A and B are shown apart, each in its own frame.
Chain A
Amino acid sequence: QKQLVQSGAEVKKPGASVKVSCKAYGYTFTTYSMHWVRQAPGQGLEWMGRINPNSGGTDYAQKFQGRITMTRDTSISTAYMELTGLTSDDTAMYYCAPATMTFDHWGQGTLVTVSS
């Protein structure tokens, strides 16, 4: 049974960066790409991109190109998502989800609040 445990809530100032981690349990980490999805308060779901844990290859949504970096550490079965140049619009819950296609397991979410 896949289980994803994400890092704790963060409060950041505008212009700062945030790095969220997602540790995988219960399956072979390199089997599935790790996707990241975010959800602003009261809003819908937004796909941010994915990383192939095998190759480290990434695929980012165009909206985030240039300020998002996804990495992984296969030795500890952990994926990371770093977002730079934060604004209040980046205040959201950030989720990780391992998947080939659909997201049948999700992390618990990491709340990132951007506030001066």
Chain B
Amino acid sequence: EIVLTQSPGTLSLSPGERATLSCRASHNIPNTYLAWYQQKVGQPPRLLMYDASTKTTATPDRISGSGSGTDFTLTITRLEPEDFAVYYCQYYGVSPWTFGQGTKVEIK
């Protein structure tokens, strides 16, 4: 099983600032099968990124993903009010699918 560890647990930033979220895997992730989700209170998660760096059609340009192997990053270049939420990374493709514990991006 691939264990995903996200850091930091909480990121306190102001609108307009840059956010850098990390996701580290316990083993190499083949094919960069790493996704990122955003979740707001009372809603199911929303897929932002897959294959580590491929955006969905709804993902804003200010959000990007990178990484390979065991180290992955989600970057939000200039935080907008709607970006304050919890972000999860996910390994997929070979069972078991796993999630990181999440990073909360909160308003400072």
Q: Is the CB of B102 within 8 A of A101?
A: no
A10 to chain B, nearest CB (A): 18
In the complex formed, the residue of A with least CB distance to B95 is A59
* Residues A103 and B101 in contact, CB atoms below 8 Å apart: no
Q: Do B44 and A106 touch across chains, with their CB atoms under 8 A apart?
A: yes
How far, in angstroms, from A103 to B37 measured CA to CA in the complex?
9
- Asked whether, in the complex, the Cβ of A47 is within 8 Å of the Cβ of B99, the reply is yes
Contact A47/B98 with A101-B93, A102-B35, A102-B92 known, Cβ cut-off 8 Å: yes
Task: Name the prevailing secondary structure of the B interface residues.
Answer: loop
A46 in the interface (beta carbon within 8 A)? yes
Closest chain-B Cβ to A53's Cβ sits at a distance in Å of 16
From A35, A46, A61, A106, contact of B45 by CB (8 A): A106
Which residues of A sit under 8 angstroms from B37, Cβ to Cβ?
45, 103
Pairwise interchain contact A104-B88, C-beta atoms closer than 8 A: no
The B-contacting residues of A in range 80-116, CB under 8 angstroms, are 95, 99, 101-104, 106-109
Looking at B96, B97, B99, the one whose CB has the most chain A CB atoms below 10 A away is B97
With an 8 A cutoff between CB atoms, is B47 at the interface? yes
Q: From residue B66, how far is it (CB to closest CB) to chain A in Å?
A: 17
The verdict on A102 contacting B98 (CB below 8 Å), with A44-B88, A45-B88 known, is: no
Name the interface residues of B39-63: CB closer than 8 Å to any CB of A.
39, 44-45, 47, 50, 56
